[in-house]
Amino acid sequence: METLVMGAVAYDAKVVTIWDGFKQWFAANGLAFDYVLYSNYERQVEALLAGHVQVAWNSPLAWARAHRMAKARGLDVVPVAMRDTDCDLTSVVVVNASSGIEDVAGLAGRRVAVGAVDSPQATLIPLSYLRSEGLEAGRDFDVSHHQVGVGKHGDHIGGERDAARALVAGTVDAACMIDGNHLLFSAEGTLPPGSTRIIGQTPTYDHCNFTAAATAPAALVEQFRSLLLGMSYDDPEVRPLLDLEGLKAWRVGRVTGYAQLEAAVDESGFYDQEGHVAAVDYRP
């Protein structure tokens, strides 16, 4: 029986528990499945394009690189599936409620905290949003990066949490983070309830997806997709796996939610058009 091999990034120890569980479930449902863990997304994308894995559990930034690298080689990659929680997300720019800063224009001459340099949701997309509002990082305001889990493409939220802490400490005037983490940080007390105000919010975008190389066995990839989409949160065997991976349902993969990130990558020069890493301050 042919085995589908998936690549995933080890952003947390629970990743082993997650994919061991999925491996057992897939086997019980007729799919021979295995996985390989990588320390960073750059290595994972290269492995996907080299054919070492047939499917990769990619961050949105990893999708952008895979798509660029494939196109440069006359190949293609396709989105297989994504979580319901990957769709229609936004990032926010928050300030201390007592700061007197009423909108993003008030950030001119200020200091803005972001996540790691490779975080789509806490760095690349918010800085692109501020750029669209007429504020250029390094020219109109200073940026304070919080380099936690570099190479993990923002999957490790430590950088966003440190940015929030910097806002509370008063060492920065604003902080950027995904809206869900703004709620989480308020609930857990990192941001004292009622202490912050949102002054800017990005348009919606999408996050992770399973990416397949076009050279992967089509029938095997389709079986993988079909099994994912057939998972039910009402199934007591499946629910723990979905909870660990942070979703209630898998959806068909789409690329319509990546335009903002693609623009941010081009504006910042993070990757070139062939998917080579061009960011001078990025060392995964």
Closest CA to 107 of 69, 74, 73, 133: 133
pLDDT band at 136 (very low <50, low <70, confident <90, very high): very high
Assigned architecture for domain 91-201: 3-Layer(aba) Sandwich (3.40)
Report pLDDT for 155: 86
Give the pLDDT score at 69. Answer: 97
DSSP string, 93-134: EEEETTS---SGGGGTTSEEE---TT-IIIIIHHHHHHHHTT
For residues 108 and 55, give the distance between their C-alpha atoms in angstroms, rounded to a whole number.
Answer: 43
What's the confidence (pLDDT) of residue 88?
A: 97
Residue 250 has pLDDT above 90, yes or no: yes
Tell me: pLDDT of 283 over 90: no
- The Cα 153–Cα 202 span in angstroms is 18
At residue 186, the pLDDT reads 94
Give the per-residue pLDDT at 263: 97
- Sheet containing 4-9: order of strands: 33-38, 4-9, 55-58, 209-213, 77-83, 250-252
- Which superfamily, per CATH, for 4-86+206-268? Periplasmic binding protein-like II (3.40.190.10)
pTM here?
0.95
Which pLDDT does position 147 carry in this prediction? Answer: 94
The amino acid occupying position 56 is A
Residue 262 has pLDDT above 80, yes or no: yes
100-137 exposure pattern, b = at least 16 Cβ within 10 A, e = fewer: ebeebebbeebebbbbbbbbbbbbbbbbbbbbeeebeb
List phi, psi (to 5°) of 176. Answer: -110, 140
219 in Cβ contact with 2 (< 8 Å): no
In this structure, what DSSP letter does residue 140 have? T
Per-residue model confidence (pLDDT) at position 235: 96
What is the rounded average pLDDT of the residues 185-203?
95
Let me know if 194 is exposed, middle or buried by CB neighbors in 10 A (0-12, 13-18, 19+): exposed
Using a pLDDT cut of 90, give the percent of the chain over it.
Answer: 95
The average pLDDT across 77-97 equals: 97
CA–CA dist 14, 17 (Å, integer)? 5
What pLDDT score was predicted for residue 252?
Answer: 97
Average pLDDT, the chain: 96
On whether the CB atoms of residues 154 and 120 are closer than 8 A, the answer is yes
Q: Per-residue pLDDT averaged across 2-11, rounded? A: 96
What is the share, in percent, of the chain residues with pLDDT greater than 70?
100
Domain ranges of the chain: 4-86+206-268, 91-201
Equal fold, 4-86+206-268 vs 91-201: yes
Q: Is residue 31 pLDDT above 90, yes or no?
A: yes
Residue 193 is encoded by which pair of tokens?
Answer: 């309830």
Q: How far apart are CA 27 and CA 19, in angstroms?
A: 12
Residue 238 clears pLDDT 90, i.e. is over it: yes
- Band of pLDDT at residue 214, cut at 50, 70 and 90: confident
Determine which helix (DSSP H) or strand (DSSP E) holds 225, and give its type and residue range: helix 218-229
- What's the rounded Cα separation, in Å, for the pair 192 and 97? 11
The 3-state DSSP composition of the chain as helix, strand, coil percent (nearest 5) reads 40, 20, 40
User: Average pLDDT in the 71-86 region?
Assistant: 96
pLDDT, mean of residues 5-34: 96
Residue range 143-177, pLDDT digits in tens: 999 999 999 999 889 999 999 999 999 999 999 99
User: Which three-class secondary structure state does DSSP give residue 178?
Assistant: strand
Residue with tokens 């994504």: 82
Does residue 1 have a pLDDT over 80? no
pLDDT, average across residues 225-250? 97
Q: Specify the pairing of strand 55-58 against strand 209-213.
A: antiparallel
Give me the pLDDT at residue 70, please: 97
* Strand 77-83 versus strand 142-144 pairing type: unpaired
What length is written for the chain? 284
Please determine, for residue 241, whether its predicted confidence score (pLDDT) is greater than 90.
Answer: yes
